[in-house]
Structure 1
Amino acid sequence: MDRNTVIYAEQLSKKFKDESALKGLDFSVQSGEIFGFLGPSGSGKTTTIKILTGQLAQTSGRAIVLGKPVEQMNERIYEQMGMVTDHSGIYEKMTVYSNLNLFANILGVKKERVDSLLQRVGLFEHKRKLAGKLSKGMTQRLVLARAILHQPKVLFLDEPTSGLDPSTAISVHELLIELKENGTAIFLTTHNMEEASTLCDHVALLNEGLIVEYGTPKALCLKYNQNKSYHILLKDERELTLPHSEETGRKINQWMADDQLVTIHSNEPTLEKVFLELTGRELH
């Protein structure tokens, strides 16, 4: 484990009575990396986050965060962490601004940072609104702003753009990339495979407590490239779907030379399709 490793798990396992929720997970997350932890409900994502944040003890194996075994986490470690989960911890009877300002005072963060973050997550115009009156998407944005207020070294995100409109989701993506570029390690769970492909440097595909595949999104899609195909429209109005092969390549080149090709679209493998091929399950 080198000094840039922020999260390290070795043979991480968790049992609840006779049921194994996690079965010997091995992975690491580096400083300045967005790591996608992908799997359907019940696959072990939340259990893993709870162990990595010291909320739940593992049954066996090792987990180290910011150089500290999770069972020895202390206030200094927690001060360098940020977290976004379903349990927001937002004070509903306080305004949006007061919520962030309270945590800014606790964490010793300058007031300018509060206004800047409210702008970035699209809540500046709502800063006088009571937090309890916010929509689900707006609450999610407030939770994210609070989690990154102190520019943490490691950030745990559980479905961070769930319920957000597309433009706000893009703003959140830009913010996460900025955090990454400034050295924050980001541990991300999401059901949005397009989001994972766009944001993540590496992903682990989790199924029934096991990591069934690991790598960069691009490498995994290329590895399971056998099912790539092309949808082709010709000038004689024929529509064809052909498999990726040398023969198809020759046909396409000939149609192009004869000026017969109208459109061609490749049906590329996706993380969703990779997971389905590996497990027979969809990521929902």
Structure 2
Amino acid sequence: MTLRIPDRDVAAATITNVTRRFGRRWALRGVTLSIGPGEVVGVEGHNGSGKSTLLRILSTAIKPTGGEAQVFGADVVRQPTTVRGVVAFLTHYPGLYDDLTAEENLRFACRMLGVDFGRVPPVLERVGLAREAGETVRTFSAGMQRRLSLARLLLQRPRLLLLDEPYNNFDPAGIALVNEVVREVRGAGGAAMIVLHDRHSAGDLLDRVVRLKQGVVLTDGPAPIVGDAQTSTRLTDPRESTLIAGGAA
């Protein structure tokens, strides 16, 4: 995967006082954070804490209700086409066409992305699906579908990876492949934001971990210490006691 070298003076992502409401429910409430080039940030929190919503806003899948967000200087609302050109988003769901073969799914993605069909065979080889290229997706296991979703991401040359629980349904080899891809993007000056259920799968990949609770940033700090027992006694954010008193998200 050949990657474009980003401008290292421009933040990979900046999120400023971002809010998002679904009906009467606030999924995000004034989130502010940034991701630097070459940085890998994990995002943790209970279900409903706003993790996936944050990634969807950065991918331009949805618009924020308020606040601003930029990806390598491009505004997600005013410049969505530019943002989509540098972002690769791996969601919870495969988003594949069951009646198409693995190869046909990737060729369709090539058309949508403006990518040459010649990229399909090496990408299938890399994710271990070369022999299954002609098989329909409906015959694939959950792990194989996850590999094909990762293959679709590899068709792009992303500068920012947005990965929503990317280790789900992956065996150890698949987990290692995900981490290898993240390292490649980081090594080229790109960045990644990873929603995590199990931090251990990421190994030493993470630079920071952001913890959300009820749509608010509860903690944001170096990966080795955020969330451990000592850190929990050192938190000084006055919002924490209010959020904990309010119950789980």
TM-score, normalization by structure 1:
0.72
Instruction: Answer whether contact 1:21 1:43 (CA < 8 A) is retained.
Output: yes
Quote the Cα distance in structure 1 between the aligned partners of 2:185 and 2:36. 13
- 1:81 aligned to 2:87? yes
Q: For 1:91-106, what aligned pairs fall within 5 Å after superposition?
A: 91-106=97-112
The match for 1:171 is 177
Quote the Cα distance in structure 2 between the aligned partners of 1:111 and 1:180. 26
Task: Report the count of equivalent residues.
Answer: 232
Q: Secondary structure at the match of 1:162?
A: coil
Q: Secondary structure at the match of 1:26?
A: strand
Deviations 1:211-257 (A, max 9, x none): 11111112436782699xxxxxxxxxxxxxxxxxxxxxxxxxxxxxx
- 1:155 aligned to 2:181? no
Deviations 1:23-44 (A, max 9, x none): 2111111222221111121111
Q: Secondary structure at the match of 1:116?
A: helix
Deviations 1:43-68 (A, max 9, x none): 11122122222232322221112312
Quote the Cα distance in structure 2 between the aligned partners of 1:99 and 1:88. 11
Instruction: Answer whether contact 2:60 2:83 (CA < 8 A) is retained.
Output: no
Unaligned runs of 5+ in 2: 1-7, 234-242
The match for 2:141 is 135
Q: Give the aligned CA root-mean-square deviation in angstroms.
A: 2.8
The match for 2:27 is 21
Q: 1:191 to 1:279 in 2, by over 3 A?
A: farther
The match for 1:121 is 127
Q: Choose between structure 1 and 2 for higher RCO, CA contacts under 8 A separated by at least 6 residues.
A: 2
Quote the Cα distance in structure 2 between the aligned partners of 1:106 and 1:16. 29
Quote the Cα distance in structure 1 between the aligned partners of 2:136 and 2:113. 22
Question: Which entry has the higher C-alpha Rg, 1 or 2?
Answer: 1
- The structure in which a higher percent of residues are strand is 1
Q: Greater CA deviation, 81-90 or 104-113?
A: 104-113
Deviation at 1:201, TM superposition (A): 1.4
The match for 2:96 is 90
Instruction: Answer whether contact 1:104 1:111 (CA < 8 A) is retained.
Output: yes
Quote the Cα distance in structure 2 between the aligned partners of 1:110 and 1:59. 37
Instruction: Answer whether contact 1:31 1:185 (CA < 8 A) is retained.
Output: yes
Deviation at 1:111, TM superposition (A): 4.7
The match for 2:204 is 198
Deviation at 1:209, TM superposition (A): 1.0
Quote the Cα distance in structure 2 between the aligned partners of 1:40 and 1:188. 15
* Identity score, percent: 30
Q: Secondary structure at the match of 2:197?
A: coil
Instruction: Answer whether contact 2:90 2:162 (CA < 8 A) is retained.
Output: yes
The match for 1:275 is none
Give the AA of the match of 2:65.
T
Unaligned runs of 5+ in 1: 228-277
Instruction: Answer whether contact 2:159 2:190 (CA < 8 A) is retained.
Output: yes
